[in-house]
Amino acid sequence: MNTKHLIDLNDCSKEEWEDIINLAVNISDAPERYAETCKGKILATLFYEPSTRTQMSFQTAMLKLGGNVIGFDNPLNSSVSKGETLADTTKIVSGYADILAIRHPVEGASLVSAQYSNCPIINAGDGGHLHPTQTLTDLVTMKKEIGHIDNLTVGFCGDLKYGRTVHSLIKALCHYQNIKFILISTPELTLPDYFKEYIVQNNCAFQDVLSLEEAICELDVLYMTRIQKERFASEALYNEQKNVYILDNKKLEHAKSSLKILHPLPRVDEIAAEVDEDDRATYFKQAKYGVFARMALISTLLGQTHEKYQLKGTSSEKACSNSRCITNQENGIRKSFYQIGEKSYCEYCDAECK
């Protein structure tokens, strides 16, 4: 793989990420064979936002590869609480560790780290933007449980506006053959325009749908998501959206027997506990595959010669229109935009900038 960091899966070619998926599948068949692959190496997990699965699966992955782990999961216990910038924290920690996994509430944060780091950076979730290692996990799950990733009708249900797992997975699936997207959400939580534009630019089809009941019979994969309470401007707005979509056994009566139900987890109440007993419930297996996906990714990135990330877009003094973007939250960050047709997009958060 040529890519030195994993910020957005689409920085790699499809062949490159398929190599990681295939390696993850091989690792899952015999993980003990990889027990010394990263001996003597250190992974640092810098988690500025809560996490159970992502952080622990990164740590488990590194330990299973024979490496060690350092890091924090509460920035209040680190120098971040004294006002240290992300760039400085990255420079310091990348002098201690061989690879860094960063989760941050601000969109584009890991791209900032990748410009300053002395070792590979993995984006473990940047605000409501992207979550590429969850996507690797999802693709490994589909490969293992369905056998292929082409020719599928995939329904995404719930918070498609702030759900970074949804954004990353849609971007990746656009590169497979004959994928049809059914976007099941309220108008308030619909997929942001720039991701819809990405679907269209890549010649895929999508349909916006309000009712899970009506869409479920068509689906090969149903990707349920949590309403991302922490990203709403107010509790009142969140309360209007919670509990709209609940998958239960009754709704599943209309689904294909081959359906696979995925969820990045944690769930709140969008999947009733009774569904866990259904053979189509795949989300707990999916969480396990996350360890193998991250083992494959860590060992691949550690096999590269390191280079700092160089911005690809054109720099400009104009501001990104997205208030949740790191360029609007921290000082001294070099802005960068890329063009598709007439439109200009922020390299950090992909928002269209007018």
- Specify the residue, 232 or 337, whose C-beta has the smaller distance to ligand NCD: 232
Question: Which residues between 170 and 199 bind ligand NCD (CB under 6 A)?
Answer: none
What is the SS3 assignment for 122? strand
DSSP 8-state assignment for residue 116: H
- Specify the residue, 53 or 335, whose C-beta has the smaller distance to ligand NCD: 53
Rounded to whole angstroms, the Cα distance separating 257 from 143 reads 18
Binding ligand NCD by CB under 6 A: which of 164, 167, 260, 324?
164
Contact between residue 170 and residue 223 where contact means Cβ atoms under 8 Å apart: no
Question: Least distance to ligand NCD from the beta carbon of 245, Å?
Answer: 13
Contact between residue 72 and residue 50 where contact means Cβ atoms under 8 Å apart: no
Question: Least distance to ligand NCD from the beta carbon of 268, Å?
Answer: 9
Question: Least distance to ligand NCD from the beta carbon of 52, Å?
Answer: 8
Q: Is 324 in the site for ligand NCD (CB under 6 A)?
A: no
- Specify the residue, 325 or 353, whose C-beta has the smaller distance to ligand NCD: 325
- Specify the residue, 4 or 164, whose C-beta has the smaller distance to ligand NCD: 164
DSSP string across 300-324: HHHTSPP------SEE-SSPPS-TT
Rounded to whole angstroms, the Cα distance separating 33 from 132 reads 25
Rounded to whole angstroms, the Cα distance separating 301 from 119 reads 9
- Specify the residue, 28 or 344, whose C-beta has the smaller distance to ligand NCD: 28
Q: Are strands 121-126 and 152-157 parallel, antiparallel or unpaired?
A: unpaired
Residues 6+ apart with CB under 8 A from 333: 112, 326, 327, 348
Question: Least distance to ligand NCD from the beta carbon of 125, Å?
Answer: 5
Question: Least distance to ligand NCD from the beta carbon of 264, Å?
Answer: 4
Question: Least distance to ligand NCD from the beta carbon of 227, Å?
Answer: 9
Omega cis (within 30) before 266: yes
Question: Which residues between 263 and 292 bind ligand NCD (CB under 6 A)?
Answer: 264-265
Question: Which residues between 51 and 70 bind ligand NCD (CB under 6 A)?
Answer: 53-54
- Specify the residue, 53 or 104, whose C-beta has the smaller distance to ligand NCD: 53
Question: Which residues between 197 and 216 bind ligand NCD (CB under 6 A)?
Answer: none
Residues 102-141 as x/- pattern, contact with ligand NCD by CB under 6 A: -----------------------x-----x--x-------
Rounded to whole angstroms, the Cα distance separating 291 from 24 reads 9
Q: Are strands 99-104 and 42-47 parallel, antiparallel or unpaired?
A: parallel
Q: Which residues contribute to the site for ligand NCD (CB under 6 A)? A: 53-54, 125, 131, 134, 164-165, 226, 228, 264-265
